[in-house]
Every structure is written in structure tokens, then in C-alpha cells.
Amino acid sequence: MPVWAALNAVRDGSARITHYIATWFDISARKADEQRISHLAQHDVRTDLPNRALCVERLRLALQQADRHKRRLAVLFIDLDRFKNINDSLGHHIGDAVLRSVSSQLQRGVRSGDTVSRMGGDEFVVILNQP
């Protein structure tokens, strides 16, 4: 359990320390909130995929690794054709369901070390690292 601890000295009339008071505060809720905020800052709300910022960071790291180990990587840019028509004709709740379905299908089609991310709207990026 994460805690915040404070130790305070208690002094007498001569300014001598007579004893200490220790207090402990459970900060697990705060830590959980910080983790949620961090996750929300790096992941798409609708699909829970890495967002543009996290994708760019992972691509930077993947390029460094590929260069360091003399390996290749592939970057796929995927755009859903006529996705706006789905939102306009069937509603955003159906469009969101389509985005979640596409993200699930993409994630099932890659290895654990690869990255599927949603750049926004109807655009996805997949980073495929050479094993």
C-alpha cells in the first residue's frame, strides 16, 4: 500500500525534542488516480488503443531498436473509407462500435510486441517490429 509519511518533532519549553509524532496517510487512491490520468493521456477513449502521442513515441523507439539491431519494421497507415457515412446515417454510437470492432480485429492480427494505435477519427497506425 503506498503511503505518505510525516515525522514531526515535539519540543518542550526549552526547545528540546521530547518525542516524535509520526503520521501515515494511505495514498493508494491518489496513486490510482495518477495512473488513470496517465493512461487517459496516452490512450484513445473510445478504443483504449494508444493515441497519437504514444504512437509517435513507440514509433521513435521502434526505429531506434531497428537501427540498433539492423532489423526492419513496417508501419501501416489504415484509413476507414466512408466512415463518415456510418456516423451520419447510423449515428455516432454505431460508429464508435465500428471503431472498437476494427481495433479489436487489428489487435488480434498482430504479435504482442507490435503496436496498434488510433490516430484519431477513422485513422489507425500499426507498427510491426521484425522478430
What is the chain's mean pLDDT, rounded?
Answer: 96
Q: pLDDT tens across 84-117, in order?
A: 999 999 999 999 999 999 999 999 999 999 999 9
State the catalytic residue, choosing from 48, 67, 88, 122. Answer: 122
Report domain 46-129's class. alpha beta
Residue 122 falls in the annotated catalytic set: yes
Query: Grid cell 519494421 — which residue?
Result: 73
Annotated domain spans of the chain: 3-32, 46-129
Q: pLDDT tens across 31-88, in order?
A: 999 999 999 999 999 999 999 999 999 999 999 999 999 999 999 999 999 999 999 9
Q: Are 116 and 110 in contact (CB under 8 A)?
A: yes
Q: Are 117 and 54 in contact (CB under 8 A)?
A: yes
The torsion of the CA quartet 56, 125, 37, 92, rounded to 10 degrees, works out to: 140
Cell numbers standing for residue 75: 508501419
